[in-house]
Amino acid sequence: MFRAECAEGLLCSVPAVLVAAAYIEIWYFGDISSCGYASRPSSSVISMSESSMHLLDPAPFGRVIPAMVTPMHHDGSIDFEASAALARKLVASGADGLLVNGTTGESPATHMDEKVELVQVVKQTVDVPVISGAGSNDTAHTVRMVEQTQEAGADAVLVVSPYYSRPSQEGIFRHYQAVNESADKPIIVYDVPGRTGVHLELETYCRLADLEHIEAVKDATGDIAGAVRKRMETGLTWYSGDDALFLPFLSIGAVGIISVIAHVASYPMHRLADAFDQGDIHQAQRLANRLAPLVDTVNGTGFQAVLAKAVLHERGWLDETMMRLPNVGPKEPEFKRARQGMIDAGILDA
Instruction: Give SS3 for 197.
Output: coil
Instruction: Give SS3 for 216.
Output: strand
144 contacts 131 by C-beta, under 8 angstroms: no
The DSSP bridge partners found for residue 47 are 54
How far apart CA 350 and CA 343 sit, in angstroms, is 6
Q: Is 131 annotated as a binding residue?
A: no
Buried b (16+ CB within 10 A) or exposed e, 1-16: eeebebeeeeebebee
Instruction: Give SS3 for 211.
Output: coil
Q: Is 26 annotated as a binding residue?
A: no
How far apart CA 57 and CA 304 sit, in angstroms, is 28
Question: Which of 115, 123, 218, 230 does the annotation list as catalytic?
Answer: 218
267 part of the active site: no
Question: Which of 115, 123, 190, 230 does the annotation list as catalytic?
Answer: 190
Where helices occur in the chain by DSSP H, the ranges are 16-22, 24-28, 80-92, 112-125, 139-151, 169-182, 193-196, 202-209, 224-234, 246-251, 262-277, 281-299, 304-315, 332-344
The DSSP bridge partners found for residue 159 are 189
Q: What one-character DSSP code corresponds to residue 266? A: H
Buried b (16+ CB within 10 A) or exposed e, 54-88: ebbbebbbbbbbbbbbbbbeeeeebbbebbbbbbe
- Residue 313 has phi, psi (to 5 degrees) of -65, -45
Instruction: Give SS3 for 159.
Output: strand
28 part of the active site: no
Q: Which residues are annotated as a binding site for pyruvate?
A: 104, 258
Catalytic site residues?
190, 218
**Binding site: which residues?**
104, 258
